[in-house]
Amino acid sequence: MEGIIYSFLAGVSTVLGVFVLMIFGTPSKKVLAALLGFAGGIMTAISVFELMPEAVELGSVFSAVIGFLLGAGMMFALDKVMPHSHMSESDDMVVENPEKLTFVSNPIARTGYLILFGIALHNLPEGLAIGAGLEASPELGMLIAVAIALHNIPEGLAIAGPLKAGGLSSIKIILFTLAAGLMTPIGAAIGLLFFSISPIFVGGSLAFAAGAMIYIVNDELIPQSNAMDSHLANAGLIAGLLLGFALL
């Protein structure tokens, strides 16, 4: 139950980004750079200092390496195959693989579906990561949830801008992002269901979570934050690494 609560809060944090945009407008790139860098630092610290060592302890070096490669490989495959959106250094949002949604003719509806896929695709493995962390310790699960929540807030900002400009009401935007955010607790529930099979499976799952998070950090958080403000991005990354190291 604890894992579902943590993952739910992490998933719906995307909606916080929508509220921030509606109330305060788009934050400066300096603020976003520091926030994304900080989230990247915490996620890297969790993966390197806790998830991988715990994966080796519960299983073996071989199972940890395989789990890590599967986690990173899954994120790579999702990026290449499925339509999704993410923040850009120059625009609010960039869409990849939009041709995969040719069945949607309305431009605004197509943007909405792309947004939904983008959040859901990343939220499912993020939920698995929270579930895997909780199998190791409640503190680790909570820390992963906080890091993912920090990552999801700017994502909500990137989503709300084009949807609002496209004419969607605030209620629809909130419901849209909330529905996609619910993929995080679904991922956590799937993980918690299977993690009890054996210690080796738990170890492999922890490494899988580490691989997925490291891919997200290197593919999205570091490039995007550095493009916005490299100095603040590095400061946020270092702060996140040190905080993660101190708490683990």
With cut-offs at 50, 70 and 90, classify the pLDDT of residue 62: very high
Burial pattern 41-62, b for ≥16 Cβ within 10 A else e, equals: bbbbbbbbebbbebbbebbeee
Structure tokens at 126: 């993020």
Helix (H) or strand (E) holding 231: helix 222-247
Which residue has 């419901």 as its token pair?
A: 175
Q: How confident is the model at residue 107, as a pLDDT?
A: 53
Helix (H) or strand (E) holding 95: strand 94-96
Residue 217, pLDDT > 80, answer yes
For the chain, the first-to-last Cα distance in angstroms comes to: 22
Higher pLDDT, 138 or 111: 138
pLDDT (average), residues 83-103: 51
